[in-house]
Amino acid sequence: MTHLIVKAKGKKTETKQAIIDAAIVLFQMHGYNGTSVRNIAAEAHVNVALVSYYFGSKKALLEHLMEMFFREYIQEIEEAIPWQNKTSSVCECLVQLAIKLLHYQQKNFYLSLLVHREVTIDSILVRELMTTYLMKEKYLMETIFEEGIRKHEICDIPIDLLVLQYRDMIVTPFLQPLYLRKVHVLEPSQSLFIDRYAEMIRTWIVQIKQGV
Residues in contact with a second copy by the rule CB under 8 A: 29-34, 117, 119-122, 126-127, 130-131, 134-135, 137-138, 157-158, 160-161, 163-165, 168-169, 172, 175-176, 178-180, 182-184, 186, 197, 199-200, 203-204, 207-208
**HEC letters along 79-93:** CCCHHHCCCCCHHHH
Q: Please state the separation of Cα 57 from the chain's center in Å.
A: 23
Nearer residue to a second copy within complex by CB, 2 or 124: 124
* 7, 150, 152, 184: residue in contact with DNA (rule CB under 7 A): 7
Site for DNA in 56-85 (CB under 7 A): 56-59
Q: Which does 208 bind (CB under 5 to 8 A by kind): a second copy, DNA, none?
A: a second copy
Question: Which CB atom, from 15 or from 28, has the smaller least distance to a second copy?
Answer: 28
| Among 50, 94, 111, 163, contact with DNA (rule: CB under 7 A) | 50
Any contact of residue 108 with DNA (CB under 7 A)? no
Residue 121 binds which one of DNA, a second copy, none, with CB within 5 to 8 A depending on kind? Answer: a second copy
Instruction: Determine, following the binding rule CB under 7 A, whether residue 105 of this chain makes contact with DNA.
Output: no
196 binds DNA (CB under 7 A): no
> Does residue 14 interact with DNA by CB under 7 A?
yes
Find the angle CA(80)-CA(103)-CA(184) to the nearest 5 degrees: 130
Residues that bind DNA (CB under 7 A): 4-5, 7-9, 11-12, 14-15, 35-39, 46-54, 56-59
